[in-house]
Amino acid sequence: MTDDDILAELGVDLTPKKARSRTPREERIVAGFEDILKFFDEHGRAPQHGENGDIFERLYAVRLDRLRAQPESVELLTDMDKHGLLDAGDMGVPPAADELDDSALLAELGIDDAPAEDITRLRHVRSYEEKQAAEEIASRTRCEDFATFKPLFDQVQADLEAGVRITRAFVKDAGLSKATIHTGEFFILGGQIAHVAEVGELIKAPNGETDARLRVIYSNGTESDLLLRSLQRALYKDDGGRRITEPTAGPLFDKPDSTPDEPDHLSAGTLYVLRSHSTHPTIAANRQLIHKIGITGGTVEARIAGAADDSTYLLADVDIVATYKLYDIDRPRLEALIHRVLNAVRFEAEIPDRFGKPVRPREWFLVPLAIIDQIVAGIGDGSVVGMTYDPATASLKRS
């Protein structure tokens, strides 16, 4: 029997399925579900509800709940649902009612909240105040030149993951009645990264304040031409509304005996570089090159106390050769970034611990101290993103 005969015997329909074109609404639903599938592939689980969760995960969880409740969406997405997410049941505690309004949720799912064509059927009837607010915020449309902006969003995402940029609550600027918004800035609004690509000419608003028409690009490939004051109100109203800082906003590193320029910077700990006194032959022969790089939230002296009895420190005393004070930065992500840059020269020596069991410390690297200084400076100005250390040339290069 041929393969086709065997499949026919098993009841498999061999008739090619005709590809059908999707409506713009269906395309948006499919794109939204692809984000959920990508989250599952990266984290190995469905997105969960919860106030302590990442804003994007909470948005995906709400989106998935709405998709499950819509039979037409389930039918559209069944062939894509390789993880069985559409029939996985309740994912956990439902989100609070004020986390996202109906318009924001419907927009994320690609569902228009306009009245139905049948004038005898009323849908989503809103109060006068809601209608007036909706008129102030322009509807989103597909961004035709999104390919131009996508590298910017990718860079911002990489900077956030590396700790080069951070997010801050959208609050009033000191001495001003409202927070300022400028061309080129990035924000988080409704679970999406928003980029202010253009600010139009200033106009006089009815209340006497100045306003301007913006071109705002969103990370999901859409754009809107809402007013500056409307964007401000939306960010104030959104509990998850955040301003994404510039890579050089505030000191990320400083010498331990200096003081940050601004008094409200939060100390995140200390990055330290150590050298070992170990008598291991390889370590003794390369003592000036083998360094341990780590981060602590306390003092370095307390961290290395008892190093001679700890396999993490190669069962030997250590010298502190450099320290850098950290401000406003995610310590685990920063440490992971530095280790990624130096992954090619990770010191892989195996040593026995106090009980004779072999251990392989992971935070030691064969790298000159000058290169570590370059990496630290590169994180401060954002240039280290995408760089790796090349041991052949003893220099940093773009990977």
Helices and strands (DSSP H and E) totals, the chain: 12, 16
pLDDT of residue 101 exceeding 90, the answer is no
Query: pLDDT tens digits, residue range 314-330?
Result: 888 899 888 888 776 77
Whole-angstrom distance, CA of residue 304 vs CA of residue 68: 52
Dist. CA 213–CA 229, nearest whole Å: 9
Q: How far apart are CA 191 and CA 7, in angstroms?
A: 45
pLDDT at 133: 45
Tokens 């080129």: give the residue.
184
Within the chain, residue ranges assigned H as helices are 3-9, 24-43, 55-68, 71-77, 102-108, 128-136, 146-162, 228-237, 281-285, 300-303, 331-341, 369-381
DSSP 259-283: --SSTTPPEEEEEEEEEE----HHH
Confidence (pLDDT) at 230? 87
Per-residue tokens: 264: 């409200």
Is the entire prediction scored with pTM above 0.75? no
pLDDT top residue among 65 and 325? 65
Quick: pLDDT tens for 242-269: 888 876 444 455 544 444 444 444 456 7
User: Using CA atoms in the order 319, 322, 325, 331, what is the torsion angle rounded to 10 degrees?
Assistant: -70
Q: What six digits make up the tokens of 211?
A: 């306003």
Q: What is the structure's pLDDT at 383?
A: 76
The rounded mean pLDDT for the chain is 76
In a 13 Å sphere around the CA of 191, the CA atoms on its Cβ side amount to 22
Taken in order of first residue, the domains within the chain and their CATH numbers are 21-133 (no CATH), 167-244 (2.30.30), 253-398 (no CATH)
The answer on pLDDT for 286 being more than 90 is no
